[in-house]
Amino acid sequence: MQESPIFVRTFDLLTWLLPFAQKFPKEQRFVLAARLHNAAFNFTKKLQPLR
């Protein structure tokens, strides 16, 4: 079974975003990285098929 293109692209975004967020300035890293991670994971969670 082939993966959905949106799922593949979202996974690519997450694999790029997580290490990238670690490079933020120390004083902004915690808040900005947490918000970006939460938004990205919430978006991915909404892509999951309903069971």
9-50 pLDDT, tens digit per residue, is: 888 888 888 888 888 888 888 888 888 888 888 887 887 765
- What's the structural domain count of the chain? 1
What is the residue range of 11's domain? 5-46
Q: Report if residue 42 sits inside a domain.
A: yes
- The band of 5, judged by pLDDT with boundaries at 50, 70 and 90, is confident
Q: Report if residue 41 sits inside a domain.
A: yes
**Rg, C-alpha atoms of the chain:** 13
Q: Report if residue 21 sits inside a domain.
A: yes
Q: Which residue, 39, 41, 51, 38, is CA-closest to 11?
A: 41
Q: Report if residue 51 sits inside a domain.
A: no
Q: Which residue has better confidence, 31 or 7?
A: 31
Q: What pLDDT does 49 receive?
A: 64
